[in-house]
Amino acid sequence: MGGNRSDRSRPKAKRNWFGLLPSLALTALLASCSSDSGSRPAVPRLAAAERALAQVRSNCAPDLHLEVFNVGVQLLGARLVLTGEVDRAEARLAALQALAQIGVSPVDGIVVLPTKDLGERAEGLVSLSVGSGRIVPEHKSEMVTQFLMGETLRVLKRSRNWYYVQGHDGYLAWLERGSLVRCTAGELEAWNNSPRLIVTALEEMVLERPETGAQPVSDVVICDLLQQTSEQGDWFGVRLPDGREGFLPKKAAADYTTWRQQRHAAPESLESTARRFLGRPYLWGGVSPKGLDCSGFTRLVYYLNGIDLNRDASQQVRQGHEVPLDGNLAQLKRGDLLFFGRDPAWGGPQRIFHVGLYLGDKRFIHSSERVQINSLDPNSPMRDELRIRTLIRARRILED
């Protein structure tokens, strides 16, 4: 089987992408750091400060896919200087308080995101059908997730033609400038309160005119959001988040408010939704029909049925409630999530590296190489021997 989405670590604090202070600011700090001959020896204080910050990081940012706590400490002369960035003022305060408790009074150089250069436009909307979120701001870097058109973003900082953003689910990644439109809080509220359509077709095109064969404006995929501007026969007039306008076949979309009210998850609807994606390719970080990783697939299936799952398998395993596993899988029900990984009983910590959706009769559907159905029955021709060996958890999301 191909590789699957798993627990991943994000870049360490020292990476330049999560940058420490700009050089001018650091120069100013250096100038402010006078000697302190009465202080305790510097090296032990530095080590104690690093240990204290590690504990704060564990408390304030247990999942670095969702929180920013990139704080370091440097020894400049006889003074300790805190550098780096956090995404909440509370995290900065927690770092300062932790050091105060061990008798350290550092120079505070922590930046609270979003950076001031973004001004009032520290919100955003995804403007492409699928925006690729990367771990560092360059095309050759790992794609860790995707964001869909019309999704709201918190814009945290900029690096050349890239923005570091946080999706509505809290997930953090770098998006290229052309993948989003920045906006003010008021503009974002206006977008959220406007008449919107959700794309219900797996894939479709927005066209310049309400006729087949017209020039395309943009592609769209299922769950993309657009503003509705008009109706013309079998077509919706639509506006994209970046202001482009065109026409979308009515059969490909629905009123977003009505659609949300009509979503009701049930085992049958989860299975029928999941089967719509059979044969779609596996893509690390993918969340759309263009390509899906394992947790992107289960999240999309549940979202289309009115339930929000977290982004990664390691996060989804904390949702719902546990279902005991036995040799016959007798307690599992259709729609349960199956988690595969390394069991602590084998030595070492538990690690979740794959997730699938249970269909009953020991069959499950998952994204691995492609979206496909396999069996946990060792005698079945559809058996997946790797998943048989590595099934360690099951969670029930639907109410009993």
Q: Is residue 180 one of the residues assigned to a domain?
A: yes
Assess whether pLDDT exceeds 80 at residue 261.
yes
Q: Which residues of 119-128 are buried (b: 16+ CB within 10 A; e: fewer)?
A: eeebbbbbbb
In a shared domain, residues 221 and 251: yes
In a shared domain, residues 180 and 278: no
Q: Which residue type does 343 have? A: D
Query: At 9, is the pLDDT very low, low, confident or very high (cuts 50, 70, 90)?
Result: very low
Q: Is residue 230 one of the residues assigned to a domain?
A: yes
Query: At 349, is the pLDDT very low, low, confident or very high (cuts 50, 70, 90)?
Result: confident
In a shared domain, residues 105 and 121: no
Assess whether pLDDT exceeds 80 at residue 19.
no
Q: Is residue 1 one of the residues assigned to a domain?
A: no
Q: Is residue 125 one of the residues assigned to a domain?
A: yes
Q: Is residue 25 one of the residues assigned to a domain?
A: yes
In a shared domain, residues 94 and 29: yes
Assess whether pLDDT exceeds 70 at residue 117.
yes
In a shared domain, residues 30 and 137: no
User: Each residue of 80-93: pLDDT tens digit?
Assistant: 999 999 999 999 99
In a shared domain, residues 66 and 101: yes
The CATH number of the domain holding residue 127 is: 2.30.30.40
What's the CA gap between 225 and 66, in Å, rounded?
23
Average pLDDT of 158-175? 97
Lowest-confidence region among 35-44, 317-326, 333-342: 35-44
Give the residue carrying structure tokens 């945290």.
156
Query: At 5, is the pLDDT very low, low, confident or very high (cuts 50, 70, 90)?
Result: low
In a shared domain, residues 160 and 210: no
Query: At 380, is the pLDDT very low, low, confident or very high (cuts 50, 70, 90)?
Result: very high
Average pLDDT of 113-140? 98
What's the CA gap between 213 and 227, in Å, rounded?
22
Q: Where are the alpha helices (DSSP H) in the chain?
A: 23-32, 42-60, 89-101, 185-193, 256-262, 267-275, 294-303, 313-316, 385-390
Contact at 8 Å (CB) between 80 and 108? Answer: no
Q: Is residue 4 one of the residues assigned to a domain?
A: no
Q: Is residue 3 one of the residues assigned to a domain?
A: no
Average pLDDT of 51-76? 95
In a shared domain, residues 322 and 377: yes
Chosen domain end from 191, 214, 231:
191
Chosen domain end from 145, 168, 191:
191
In a shared domain, residues 272 and 388: yes
> What is the reported pLDDT for 347?
80
> What is the reported pLDDT for 348?
83
Query: At 357, is the pLDDT very low, low, confident or very high (cuts 50, 70, 90)?
Result: very high
Number of helical H runs and strand E runs in the chain: 9, 26
Domain span at residue 308 reads 267-396
What's the CA gap between 258 and 197, in Å, rounded?
10
User: Each residue of 21-54: pLDDT tens digit?
Assistant: 444 444 444 444 444 433 445 678 899 999 999 9
Contact at 8 Å (CB) between 221 and 129? Answer: yes
Contact at 8 Å (CB) between 20 and 76? Answer: no
What's the CA gap between 58 and 54, in Å, rounded?
6
Lowest-confidence region among 259-273, 341-355, 383-397: 341-355
Burial category of 378 from C-beta neighbours within 10 Å (exposed 0-12, middle 13-18, buried 19 and up): exposed
Count of structural domains within the chain? 4
Across the chain, mean pLDDT equals 91
Chosen domain end from 229, 261, 293:
261
Q: Is residue 7 one of the residues assigned to a domain?
A: no
In a shared domain, residues 223 and 303: no
Assess whether pLDDT exceeds 90 at residue 288.
yes
In a shared domain, residues 230 and 276: no
Residues 6+ apart with CB under 8 A from 108: 82, 92, 96
In a shared domain, residues 182 and 230: no
Q: Pull the structure tokens for residue 244.
A: 């482009």
